[in-house]
Amino acid sequence: MSELKSIAETEDEIVEDFSLFDTWDEKYEYIIDMGKKLKPLEEQYKKEENKIKGCQSTVWMISELKDGKVVYRAESDAVIVKGLVSMLIRVLSGHAPQEIIDAKLDFIDKIGMKQHLAQTRSNGLLSMVKQMKLDATVYLAQQASKN
Amino acid sequence: MPNTGLYIAFDIEQIRSYFPVLNRKVKDKPLVYFDNAATTQKPQVVIDALVDYYSNYNANIHRGIHSLAEEATAAYEETRDTVQRFIKAGHREEIIFTRGVTESINLVAYTWARTNLKAGDEIIISGMEHHSNIVPWQLITEMTGAKLNVIPVDDHGELMMEEFYKLLTEKVKLVSVVHASNSLGTINPVKEIIDAAHKVGAIVLIDGAQSTVHLDIDVQELDCDFFAISSHKVYGPTGIGVLYGKKEILEAMPPFMGGGEMIKDVTFEKTTWNELPYKFEAGTPNIADTVALKAAIDFVERIGKKQVRRHEEELLQYATEQLESIDGIRMIGKAKQKVSVASFVVDGVHPQDLGIMLDNQGVAVRTGHHCTQPLMNRFGIPGTTRASFAMYNTKDEIDVMIAGLNKAIKLLR
For the segment B180-200, what is each residue's pLDDT rounded down to a tens digit? 999 999 999 999 999 999 999
Count Cβ atoms within 10 A of the Cβ of residue B328 and give its class: 0-12 exposed, 13-18 middle, 19 or more buried: exposed
**Has residue B406 got a pLDDT over 60?**
yes
Are residues B353 and A25, on separate chains, in Cβ contact within 8 Å?
Answer: no
Count Cβ atoms within 10 A of the Cβ of residue B256 and give its class: 0-12 exposed, 13-18 middle, 19 or more buried: buried
Would an 8 Å CB–CB cutoff place B100 in contact with chain A?
no
pLDDT at position A139, please?
96
**Has residue B6 got a pLDDT over 60?**
no
* Catalytic (active site) residue A42: no
Query: Which of B244, B232, B242, B126 has its CA nearest to residue B181?
Result: B126
pTM over cut 0.90: yes
Nearest CA in chain B to A123: B352
Would an 8 Å CB–CB cutoff place B356 in contact with chain A?
yes
From the candidates A1, A20, A55, A144, give the one annotated as an active-site residue. A55
What is the per-residue pLDDT across B221-271, written as a single tens digit (0 to 9) for each?
A: 999 999 999 999 999 999 999 999 999 999 999 999 998 888 888 989 888
What is the per-residue pLDDT across A59-88, written as a single tens digit (0 to 9) for each?
A: 999 999 999 999 999 999 999 989 999 999
What is the per-residue pLDDT across B330-385, written as a single tens digit (0 to 9) for each?
A: 999 999 999 999 999 999 999 999 999 999 999 999 999 999 999 999 999 989 99
Nearest CA in chain A to B382: A56
Our measurement of the distance from residue A56's CA atom to the centroid of its chain's CA atoms, rounded to an integer in Å, reads 18
What is the per-residue pLDDT across B288-314, written as a single tens digit (0 to 9) for each?
A: 999 999 999 999 999 999 999 999 999
pLDDT at position A2, please?
54
Q: Which residues contact A23 (CB under 8 A, 6 or more apart)?
A: B28
Q: How far is CA B43 from CA A89, B57, B352, in A?
A: 46, 21, 29
Would an 8 Å CB–CB cutoff place B352 in contact with chain A?
yes
How does residue B40 score in pLDDT terms, banded at 50, 70 and 90? Answer: very high
Q: Give the Cα separation of B337 and B384 in Å (integer).
A: 20
Q: Are strands B95-98 and B241-245 parallel, antiparallel or unpaired?
A: antiparallel
Q: Give the Cα separation of B82 and A77 in Å (integer).
A: 48
Angle at which helix B287-303 crosses helix B44-56, to 10 degrees, equals 150
Task: Decide: helix, strand or coil at residue B180.
Answer: strand
pLDDT at position A55, please?
55
Run of H or E residues at B142: helix B135-144
B253/chain A closest Cα distance in angstroms: 37
Would an 8 Å CB–CB cutoff place B27 in contact with chain A?
yes
Are residues B411 and A80, on separate chains, in Cβ contact within 8 Å?
Answer: no
pLDDT at position A123, please?
52
Run of H or E residues at B187: none
Are residues B352 and A32, on separate chains, in Cβ contact within 8 Å?
Answer: no
Q: Are strands B147-151 and B122-126 parallel, antiparallel or unpaired?
A: parallel
Are residues A78 and B350, on separate chains, in Cβ contact within 8 Å?
Answer: yes
A78/chain B closest Cα distance in angstroms: 5
Better-predicted residue by pLDDT, B65 or B195: B195
Of B27, B383, B407, the CB nearest to A56: B383
pLDDT at position B1, please?
43
Question: Would you give the end-to-end CA distance of chain B in angstroms?
Answer: 36
B25/chain A closest Cα distance in angstroms: 14
Angle at which helix A125-146 crosses helix A79-92, to 10 degrees, equals 30
Q: Give the Cα separation of A29 and A33 in Å (integer).
A: 6
How does residue B152 score in pLDDT terms, banded at 50, 70 and 90? Answer: very high
- Contact residues of A toward B, CB < 8 A: 23-25, 28-29, 32, 55-57, 77-81, 123
pLDDT at position A114, please?
79
What is the per-residue pLDDT across A51-67, written as a single tens digit (0 to 9) for each?
A: 986 657 889 999 999 99
Residues of chain B neighbouring A25 (CB-CB closer than 8 A): 360, 407
Preferred mutation among A56, A77, A120, A123 to probe B, highest tally of B CBs within 10 A:
A56
Are residues B353 and A80, on separate chains, in Cβ contact within 8 Å?
Answer: yes
Q: Give the Cα separation of A91 and B122 in Å (integer).
A: 56
Q: Which residues contact B227 (CB under 8 A, 6 or more apart)?
A: B87, B205, B206, B208, B217, B219, B242, B243, B244
Are residues B411 and A29, on separate chains, in Cβ contact within 8 Å?
Answer: yes
The neighbour count for residue A40, using CB atoms within 10 Å, is 10
pLDDT at position B2, please?
45
Would an 8 Å CB–CB cutoff place B260 in contact with chain A?
no
